[in-house]
A and B are shown apart, each in its own frame.
Chain A
Amino acid sequence: MGSFPRRLRPASLPALIVSLAALLLCLPVAAGALRWVVADAVWPWDPAALCAERAGICWPFITEKAGLIFFGTYPHDLLWRPCMASLLLCALAVLTGLWLSGRGTRPGAAGLALLWAAVLAAALVLLGGGVWGMVPVGSLRWNGLPVLLLLSLGSVALAFPLGVLLALAREQDRNRLTAWLAACYIETARGVPMLTVLFTGIFVLPLMLPSGSALPPVAAVLVALILFHAAYFAEDIRGGLRALPRGQAEAAQALGLSRRSRLGEVLLPQAIRRALPSIVNSVIGAYKDTSLVVVVGIHDLTATARMAFSDPAWRAQALEGYFVIGLWFFMSCAFLSMIGRRLQRREAGQ
């Protein structure tokens, strides 16, 4: 923030002209958006038939299709389960974000890991059922929001520790072969498009496995996402390790700390803190990349929105469908980058 001028008074005449031009360009867009959202809107309590007459946002469509957009083809008499799972996963993400940026009570690293494991397991059980009298629901029906949250949080949760291990393996100099293998893996994973791996996991793997032992698509996709993001996290963390002054490692050694304490208590915490902005960057990327799973037949929010306005009765409401999921992605990404900014500010303050 520091280098950005906060004052609104333009510094010079050219700056004034540019500002005015930008404002003029923005005004019609803002006016059009306002007209669409407020002036011409068909409100939820209006009859749906009104949508054909007015040009504004059609709320009856959104209220009618909200269940479909957020939870897709999940059996609608069991909607409380994906609802609960989504709430749990959202709460987990918000808590972790606030905790990282220094708000609220801190559960500690072990507590946090335990919390993540518990919440992810609970979400899996809620979605899949099959225990405690809950009707089993196949993973192909986990559509929309819960599958997006599960895949993005699940892949971040498991890719991060794997990334730490890979970064350490690549940076250490005691075993050349391990370092070389880790480097090979990271470079390969970053060099192959994720879609290739997704396709291989979903369509080629089942042909090679004996029939009946095939991985369900959601699991195959999760594995592919974890393996991929681990490589990116590894590079972020390696950057943090590289940025540490050499004296840190030497000082720790001079204190007679064991190798494990040197890494776990001196080097890694500093490296991760330094790498946090780029880690947050990777997390946002991973979150948005999750939408790629659409191409292998998993219906995330974009796919369910498209289902909603493919209903013959609502085919003119494409904009509303994309508006709803756009709003969701805007809010969730805004939250992530807010956490990122807080972290940066905290880092700069130290």
Chain B
Amino acid sequence: MSRGDLPAKEADPHISGEIGGGPAILSQISYDVRVYRYGDDSGVDPHTHSPRTDSIMKPFLSCLLLAAATLAAPAAFAGAVLDDIKSGDRLICLVNPNSPGFSVPDSQGVFQGFNTDFCRMAAAAILGDADKADIRGIGFSDAMKTLVARGAHMASRSITRTGTRDADAGMTFVATTFYDGQGFMVPKSLGVARAADLAGATVCAEDGSTTLLTLADWFGDRGMAYRVENIADKTARLEAFFAGKCDVYASDVTALNSDRLLAAAPDDYVILPEVISNEPLTLVTQPDQDLESAVFWAFQVMLNADRHGLTSQNVEAARADLGSQPQAVARLLSSDGAATEMAAKLGLPGDWAYQVIRQVGSYSEVFERHLGAGTPFALSRAGTVNADAADGGLMYPYPIR
């Protein structure tokens, strides 16, 4: 049974029952904490309720929460966003308008890049045609606001999944497509081999980004002094660094690799080995369990394709000759396999897994196409967290069965 069929009337008493019990437990805990911290009952602590207030607050709170849950339930259970994508026959996907390698329009004005391909992946899985992804370039905070305002279906935009962002209503983090981290680039002439030697350095970083917060944490934790040169425009920031206006350039490691090549003499600069933050760059969708499942499993199809050596080039031949393929491949591609069974429940085209692989490719194919050895970025998955789990990375293909 798909989640869309779940009768709301059955679900509601269950929810209210849980919520009814919630505040009582919470109040008990907070009461204990107060006793523990203050040693007697006379202390006035504005942060905890007295048991008497709780007895009044409890029904009120549970009513409020029930109301909120009832309001939120239709959005959480129905596949309304997925239906909207299918009825409009297009998937609106937000990307960064100018992120080299990840999403940038080519000379014909068509967006290309690593992140762009995950928009195409979702469109191939849901609509059967990767070209039905309506890819729109938009600024970082605007992308999240647009999703919350229901102006787009998903965003593939190098958004770091963090706890507080996850707790925000109006958007859901679905699948991490790239694990990045913040690092430092320094001129060789500075003679610095480790980030720990950077005390007192002037750092070029982007104003208003998490880069600055991470820097503050990192230098603060070590009691090291530093100075930030805030330059919003990336071109100007790099120019300032190459001109020697700051000692260090801080950014995500992926960006550092390609930014280094923009120097007149790239070999004069090194990227320090330390990575000082975790940046799981994650696909975000509007809250809709069917859409989340579709996007999550489409990504798993790409990881599974990697594991079984399927690519956009050979998948057609593999489907034509399923008898010679391992069972896992048959489950992905055959018309009565597990993938087709999933499709019926989620409301996807029956051959969604095949279409994702044929039109977009496997994960490593996408990686190589936009960031790999043949590109200016020359990134390699081997030995990094972006490698397949079998090779010690974090890309772990979930079973499709």
Chain A residues within 8 Å of B, Cβ to Cβ = 64-65, 67-68, 71-76, 138, 140, 143, 202-203, 206-207, 211, 214, 294-297, 299, 303, 306-307, 309-313, 315-316, 318
Contacts and interface: CB of A to CB of B under 8 A. Distances in A.
B104 A67 contact: no
B104 A310 contact: yes
Given A140-B136, A306-B97, A73 B149 contact: no
Given A68-B105, A73-B111, A76-B109, A203 B258 contact: no
A71 B64 CA distance: 51
Given A297-B138, A312-B258, A315-B262, A203 B97 contact: no
A206 B147 CA distance: 11
Contact of B97 (A75, A207, A307, A313): A307
A68 B105 CA distance: 8
A217 B108 CA distance: 23
A74 B262 contact: no
Q: Identify whether the interface residues of B are mostly helix, strand, loop, or mixed.
A: loop
Contact of B101 (A64, A294, A312): A312
A206 B145 CA distance: 11
B150 A76 contact: no
Contacts of A310: 98-100, 104
A307 B376 contact: no
B137 interface: yes
Given A65-B107, A203-B145, 13 more contacts: A67-B107, A76-B108, A140-B136, A143-B109, A203-B149, A207-B148, A207-B149, A297-B139, A299-B97, A303-B98, A307-B98, A310-B100, A310-B104
Nearest to A55: B264
B97 A312 contact: no
Interface in B95-119: 97-101, 104-111
A211 B262 CA distance: 45
Given A68-B105, A306-B98, A297 B258 contact: no
B352 interface: no
A246 B104 CA distance: 61
A67 B101 CA distance: 20
Contacts of A75: 109
A258 to B, nearest CB: 50
A64 B377 CA distance: 22
B375 interface: yes
B374 to A, nearest CB: 11
Interface of B: 97-101, 104-111, 134, 136-139, 142, 145-146, 148-151, 235, 258, 261-262, 375-377
Contacts of A68: 105-109
Given A140-B136, A307-B137, A310-B99, A315 B376 contact: yes
Nearest to A75: B109
15 contacts: A68-B105, A73-B109, A140-B136, A206-B150, A297-B136, A297-B139, A297-B146, A303-B98, A307-B105, A307-B137, A309-B235, A312-B104, A312-B376, A315-B258, A315-B376
Contacts of A207: 148-149
B100 A315 contact: yes
B151 A307 contact: no
Contacts of B375: 312
A138 B137 CA distance: 13
A203 B146 CA distance: 7
B97 to A, nearest CB: 6
Given A296-B142, A297-B146, A312-B376, A206 B151 contact: yes
B382 to A, nearest CB: 21
A206 to B, nearest CB: 4
Contact of A297 (B106, B110, B134, B142): B142
The interface centre, meaning the residue of B107, B146, B235, B262 with most chain A CB atoms within 10 A of its CB, is: B107
Contact of A73 (B110, B146, B150, B151): B110
Nearest to A318: B235
A306 B104 CA distance: 10
B150 to A, nearest CB: 6
